[in-house]
Amino acid sequence: MTTSDKQQTSPKRWQKVSILAAAASQLGAVLGGSAFLGALADENFGTSPWLFLILLTTGFVGGFWNLLQILKRYGSGSNNAAGGDQTDGRD
Cα separations (Å) of 27 from 24, 62, 72? 5, 9, 15
Is residue 2's pLDDT more than 80? no
Residue that wins the pLDDT comparison between 43 and 7: 43
pTM over 0.75: no
Domain segments of the chain: what residues?
A: 20-73
| Alpha-carbon gap, residue 38 to 71, rounded angstroms | 28
Angle between helices 3-45 and 50-73 (to 10 degrees): 160
Taking only the tens place, the pLDDT of each residue in 44-82 is: 999 999 999 999 999 999 999 999 999 899 876 555 545
Instruction: Give the sign of the dihedral formed by CA 22, CA 25, CA 31, CA 37.
Output: negative
**pLDDT grade for 9, boundaries at 50, 70 and 90:** low
